[in-house]
Structure 1
Amino acid sequence: MAEDDAVLRKTIALGLKGRGFAVAQAETGDDALDRFSSEEFDAVLLDAIMPRVDGFEVCRRLRRHDRGQGIPILIITGLDDSAAVKQAYDAGATDFIPKPLRLGILRERLRGLIEASLLEERLRNKRLQFDAIFKSIPSAIIFCRLDQSILLVNPAFSRHFGYRDAEVNNRKAGMLYDDDRVFREHEVAWQQEIEPGRTATYQVNYRRADGSVFIGETTVILVTDETGGVIGWLRIIEDITQRLERERAIAERTAELQAVTEHAPEMVARLDCRGRFLLVNRVLADFFRRQIAEFEGRTGRELQLDAPWDALWEDACRLVREHGSRQIKEVALGEEDRVQTFQALFAPERHEDGEVSTVIAFVRDVSAQKQVERIRIQTDRLDTLGVLAGGVAHDFNNIIGALISSLALIRESIKDQPASAYLDDCRAALDQARYLSRQLMTFSQGGEEPVTDAVDLQRLLKETCQFTVRNRAVKVQHFCDEELWPVEADSGQLVQVISNLLINAEQAMASGGKIETRLGNVALDAQNSLTLPSGRYVKMEIADNGPGVPQEIVDRVFDPYFTTKREGSGLGLATTYAIMKRHGGLISVRSAVGEGATFVCYVPAAQKVQEVPPESRPAEPPAAAGNSEANLVRADAPCVLLMEDQPIIRRGLARLLAPAGYKVIPTASGEEAIKAYEEAERQGTSIDLVILDMAVVEGMGGLEVIQYLRQRRAKLPAIVTSGLWDDPVMREPERFGFNAALCKPYNKAEILEIIGRLQAKNAIASDS
């Protein structure tokens, strides 16, 4: 309150304070302006006539102040003319009150002005809030009168339709429709169907200012005032053109996916980002023994699928959502050799903004693929070991050969002496070493090239069982398909395979048990899981009920030198594997601890069914060669040209042949051998026989030498020697220019026996 009359000022202040008002007093206009700037007030009471700055000027200055624009200002004046009243209102006063004052009237007038000001402030704030909301709504808003003429639009309207406010104000809303006929139908329908306060939603094709058309989802509201009177129509329009296109694309993709999944051999599902099933195919539903409808909108946990399937879907979808890339999971079911492996691929589907929308899952059984991979790894490992074993066997043969030759010479020099018994033991040990070397070579190259014929596998299996299984506590049962196909195989090598498997089974059941053999015809297609060529095979299973093979070592049983027995070389199954591979077949094992072991062989069936040779005993390993050489020594002395790069073997062979009546010219390389032959020709010495090492470390080998010698003398008798007894030269020496082949390590009897055969054929001259 600003009043220059001190008595009146105090009187008014006391009158107002007694009725709940707090009053700040100012004597002049300047004082009032200063206090208003620093304090908060709900109303201002000004005396019109004051010295220096009157009440009218104070009012004008207050209205220019930020906080003075809406505050109630009441001017007290003793002037009663209309000019003073007009001057008060022109200055910005809310009202005026004349002197002399009546305190009751003043109090009520102030209270009313303050309440009105507060109400107006609240209304102003609500209006500002409404304007902010109205302007920020992304959907287009149109308010029309009852006759459908446009009264008000929001800013989003211009973004949707491309019109300015002035271009549509007071025009019918039908101008926005793509089809005026639809607008007229809506006018009639809305008046009949929409009640005040209720809403209705339609899809309408609208036309923009540039002529383009979009689909708008339109919510219509019949608006009423506070008395319930209808005042107009409110339209809220959202452009759903892109949404409908996405929905249509999703529907098309869903239809395509549904068509694909119904014919897919794999399990297929579409899930949302939280792992809820949106679509599954029949394969997936049948796998879980559910109906397709049970999956919709539910997670694996909600469906109570067995572990680990229950959590798989949600976890994988979460990873796809977080990383934005496909995820691959493997699920292994079962135990030990009965494991079934599934591979699940989860791939993201994306919105146009790049966000993951849904996840497509493909689940397939990869158990066969895993089996192929295991077989490939095992084959690669055994092939690598085979190369190593072949190299070791070759070098080992050279060493054994030298020892055998030297031992034979020592044995002859101390005949009838007590030490000869010890030499015989050494010879027996070397024979075992030679057998071991042959096993190594068999493993490395699968044995000699099979000489195949049509073989009755059922007969061969039964006969091999008769002379192999000696333990009476072990019972053997045979099972066989009717009309079993003959197999294309080397019967001798097949006996070795069967014998190895039967001996292993018998030894696994020392206290007794049962062996079961099964034979059956199998036709494999090109997609078989065994990595075998397509065609006809005979499947042979030899199973025992022994202790079985632990899972951690079952993949190693075909490795050379791997054995769980106290006695044994560890080459039996490795050799068996190599022989089956050389035959174009396969051998594998199934086993679990406590459930015995089953060896499964696939042997190629004979391509042409022919009469199987009559029943005969299976081939048995030949007996060891004897030591008698009385019938092999010649009376004359043919000249032998020997080429051997190993000094011990070269000296040993020369010493073995000399007592038998042969003259030996030893050489260490192919070049030396040719030089020695040419020198013998110059001296008139006839070379009656050449013994050539096939492979030497340096220089010309036996093949190059024999080719040269055949040009000089076409019918010169020639023997090729090598530790690589499976080499084509050793299997078919005649094709490469030799008369015979001698495998290292050999003994005196074997070399003399071959020379004797050539002599019997008159290949070697009877006199030197």
Structure 2
Amino acid sequence: MIAPSQSPTPAGREAGQFSASAAAPTAQSGLVLMGALEAFHAEIQECHAAAEVLELAAQCLLKLGGFRAVAFLMNEPPDWDFQLRLCQPAAGRGEMQRRVNDSIRAGTFAWALRQSRFVPVPGTRPEHDGPTLLHRLGTRARTIGMFAAVGAAGADFALQAQAGWVAVILSSCSYAIENLRLRGEVQNHNTELQERVRQRTIELTEANELLSREIAGHRRSQEALAEETERLSVTLRCIGDGVITTDTAGHVLLLNPVAEQLTGWSQTEATGRPLAEIFAPLNAVRREPHIGFLEAALTRGAATDVSQNSLLTARDGRERVIAFKVSPLRQRAGQAIMGAVLVVRDITEHERLTAEARKYVQVESLGVLAGGIAHDFNNILTVIMGNVSLADENLPNRVAAAANLREAARAAQQARELTGQLLKFAKGGTPIKTAARLQETIRESARFGLHGSHIRPVFELPRDLWAVEVDNSQIHQVIHNLVINAVQAMPHGGYLRIHAVNRTVNGAENLALPPGNYVQISVADEGCGVSPEALPRIFDPYFTTKKSGNGLGLAMCDVIIRNHGGRITVTSELGKGTTFNIFLPATDKAPAAPASSERTATAARRGRILVLEDDDALQTLMAAMLLRLGYRADFVDRGEDAVRMFQTALQHGDPFDGAILDLTVPGSMGGREAIQRLRELRPDFPALVSSGSAHDPVIADFQQHGFCGAMTKPYTLEQFAEALGHLLPAGRA
């Protein structure tokens, strides 16, 4: 509360404004006034409104005597224009308003607002009407109104004597009203604050409830995520394949235990490292790195299925044969890629069993063919023997004898080709690929497999069939095995339909093949068919539905086609037959021109040839052939001797023009090592590699080993001359 100012004494300055000669009140009247003031102060402290304070003040002032009427004009909102709020007695309200208006016009009202004392209003006649007095109502800081009073006629002495007490009452009244105003503002502020607190409490309660629900939902999500994580962790620990995940930058995030075994890296060591440091598979044939599979998953969202054989070298140097698949990892279907996942399978043991299977299937194939081959071979021998006997009888007739000998030579060539076919079915291993068109390979293999059977082949092999890059002998073996399978399925004969088409795979088909161009070969029989239960396992090693089979033939076909980057599929219906479809990648490489049936010219040539050959009989044969062709030849039976002779020839100014090097020389340096030494002495030195095995990798890829060409045994003089012609063209020799 704002305390009223200290009460001035009755003899103060304000009382002196009426008359300087006024007598002081008696002691008894002073005590009465003091009691009245104390009662007034006590009463206004209990007031709850300014009107109550004003009412008590008016009553107190009238009781002092000397006033005919008192009034209060309050400066309050909303008008702030000193409205007359209280006048006692009420009957004098009109007269009081008139006197106030007169004071306003005279400027006395405004002057009184700037004073702290009674200001008389001029123009009144105190002796007749009583004086009009104005006194500012307010605190030092704020004007809250104006007190107006009309004194009783002839009451100058009372006013002069009581002016100080009136000032005390008005001051107390002002501070009481101001305290009520401030109390009201505080109360309003408290009420407003309480309302704001209440509203905020409601908002916080609602927010707290919402947060509680969100926390509960988050807790449930965390529990569900923990359960899902545990299930995934158990699955990854128990799965038989290796699993590796990466982030979008290709850094490893996770390895399951199988992946740790395959790579040799632990989860802790691998985390954060680039995938290429942990997992760097190689092509099993070319031993070149597989590239682009991770970028395809992370940038294009493309999955890569590398089902053909690949090699993975573990951290400890151990090599494994693997198949792997890479897929993009997304938060949800169609959303942004968040990484990649690789699934790796160790197929080393599977490949070992498959390689072993090839050995058994060759024996089975040859056993099935024995009867038909014996019949055809006896026919060939009959032709040879008959033509030889005719030549003996017709010897004097040179023309007839020449014709007979030509027939004998033709039959011998057929016998050589038949032997060559047997050798094709006896071999296996990594494919040694050359570009070729498969029409003749398919026909030859099918007819060879159908010897002695009652089955008639129907071929549909277009002339514009795309070229493929294959190992011809292994494709012979695949077609032969499928034909033998058809022969066994049709013991009473029938038609075997074999056709080939050009096929473009765009990824929409469910073939598990990379998009591209393929040659599709179909072999369809009219046999008994395969049951739906057995069909999914038809390519498994050692799985068979035949009493006498060992279940290796179709498994070997599957491996061979996969080693060529292709795929073999099967469809079958019981009682109607089985169809095998082979897909081989097409190539842009031009196939080698077929060998001419005409005799190759063996015109004499020039040049000095270094020959590495350890077989005496072959040295004799090769010496005769080289002499017949016009070459000079020097023979050695050790690779070390070949290098020394080459160095000596260079020193004496009579260098060799070329060399024929046997690939394998027991107990000595062979052709592979010798050509490296020779090319150190002369980098452009041309040499042929010679071997009795057409399936050695050096023969198939001779250029990578430093040779200019290759010869396989046996060979004729024409083939020998053709190989030397490529080694030493006429202009060079």
The two structures have a TM-score, normalised by structure 1, of 0.34
- Choose 1 or 2 for highest CA Rg: 2
